[in-house]
Amino acid sequence: MPADLGRDFQRFKRGLPRDFPAHVREAYHIDLSARYLGEPLAHPIGKGSGQLSLNQGQLEDDAAAGLAFAVLKTVIAQDEGGTRTMAAWAIHETRMKVEPRRAADDRSGWTVTWKGRGWDRTLDEYLALVRAGRDLTRAGRLPVVPSVKYHLPRLGEPFRDAEYRYTTARLAEAWGDAPLLLEKDFSPTLAGDSLSDDRAQILRWLREVPGCIRAASPLPVRIAMKLMNARFDDAFQVEMMEACDGADALVCFNRLFDERAQVAYGGWDLSDRNLRVLDLYRPLPPSPALHRPLVGTGNICSGRLILDYARRGCESGQLHTFFQLPLSRYPATHGSRTQRALHALAFDPRDGLIAGMLELEAAGKLERQGGELHYLDVVTRAHRAR
């Protein structure tokens, strides 16, 4: 590894450059540009939906830290009268507990445990947060994307179109300009619910939900489907991906479910399964009509893991747990947890993004274009390999 990387790792412990991707490009000739839902990003490190993106202060802090994008806490869809079929998911969050979790192969990782689910305040309060995110997005400070849990019917039941229409129209009104970017959340808690017992039922949701959202939106909409880890085998996870014909992107995959403890969890078992399933996925050759971009999520705790997802076709990554570790677990000594996490993910001399891309170059698995290495070329090579 170049000596400059070790020096930058040490000196940036007290604070990252204001535009660290620009520094990386100038110092290392590495372009970290990434994508989410077709939108360009300065780098691939974003924040997944959850307790870390439910107020304007958190978004402002993340914009100042240099985060690539943030997905808002998941709101529960409702109709004009306020009825929410999925109201059981609007449960107030208890305090999150960050704790070690040992994987099946005895590696020690981290997981976050909490009993709550989606947004538990009013839709109007959520729309105020969406408008704050819209302003940050338009100012070029932080791309922000709303997340929604819409009605999921039992097999043979109709979708509650009124909930799709009302909620999507209100979100579109709050956002204003096309396109409206949305993430449809298939919560990991569904793995512990009887709704998720039927494979045909799950596949129906994945096939039909994007069409329901598009029909409900007064604006052109791009939809990312955040897929759960179902309680079935790896082959069914691939079948789930293939069923998402109407989606513009797939977020792969939400957390595993512990049947004994009745909680969702992460750690190395999660990333191992996610990467294994992505290895099995063989989409049709990329074309404007057929190519569905992928987004990685699950135990992303190093730049090296971001590249592991990228080498399986993921154009960016969503993190949650890594932004909540005890401060002593970050090498940086100053800044918010987001800033400290970005420092480790980008500049760690062994496991950071820069080090990982230089290793790929040295191994002949990544070539410079115009004198630069490009993160998205890692993704392109993954598609070519398939």
The pLDDT tens digits for 192-214 are: 466 667 899 999 999 999 999 99
Task: Work out the pLDDT band at 282, boundaries 50, 70, 90.
Answer: confident
Looking at residue 232, its amino acid is F
Give the contacts of 42 (CB within 8 A, at least 6 positions apart).
19, 21, 32, 33, 34, 66, 68
Residue whose token pair is 């063989």: 282
Q: With a cut of 70, say whether residue 370 has pLDDT above it.
A: yes
pTM of the model: 0.94
Q: How many CB atoms lie within 10 A of CB 248?
A: 18
**How many secondary structure helices (H) and strands (E) does the chain include?**
12, 16
Q: What is the per-residue pLDDT across 205-258, written as a single tens digit (0 to 9) for each?
A: 999 999 999 999 999 999 999 999 998 999 999 999 999 989 999 999 998 888
Percent of the chain topping pLDDT 70: 91
| Average pLDDT value for the chain | 91
Q: Are strands 256-258 and 263-265 parallel, antiparallel or unpaired?
A: antiparallel
Residue 372 tokens read as 């630069």
Q: What is the per-residue pLDDT across 148-175, written as a single tens digit (0 to 9) for each?
A: 999 999 888 999 999 999 999 999 999 9
Task: Work out the pLDDT band at 58, boundaries 50, 70, 90.
Answer: very high
State the angle between helix axes of 353-362 and 303-310 in degrees (0 to 180), rounded to the nearest 10.
50
Handedness of CA 212, 217, 221, 227 (dihedral sign): negative
Whether 185 and 74 have beta carbons less than 8 Å apart is answered as yes
Q: What is the per-residue pLDDT across 327-361, written as a single tens digit (0 to 9) for each?
A: 999 999 999 999 999 999 999 999 999 999 999 99
Cα–Cα distance measured from residue 126 to residue 132, given in angstroms and rounded to the nearest whole number? 10
Cα–Cα distance measured from residue 223 to residue 210, given in angstroms and rounded to the nearest whole number? 7
Backbone angles phi, psi at 63, to 5 degrees: -65, -45
Residue 171 tokens read as 């979100």
pLDDT value at residue 287 = 47
Distance of CA 49 to the CA centre of its chain: 7
pLDDT value at residue 202 = 92
Cβ neighbourhood burial of 293 (10 Å; 0-12, 13-18, 19+): buried
State the angle between helix axes of 337-347 and 20-28 in degrees (0 to 180), rounded to the nearest 10.
20
Instruction: Specify the DSSP element, H or E, that contains 294.
Output: strand 294-297
Number of residues written out for the chain: 386
User: DSSP assignment, residue 372?
Assistant: B
Beta strands per DSSP E along the chain: 30-31, 34-36, 39-41, 45-47, 69-76, 97-102, 108-113, 144-149, 180-185, 221-226, 249-252, 256-258, 263-265, 294-297, 314-319, 373-374
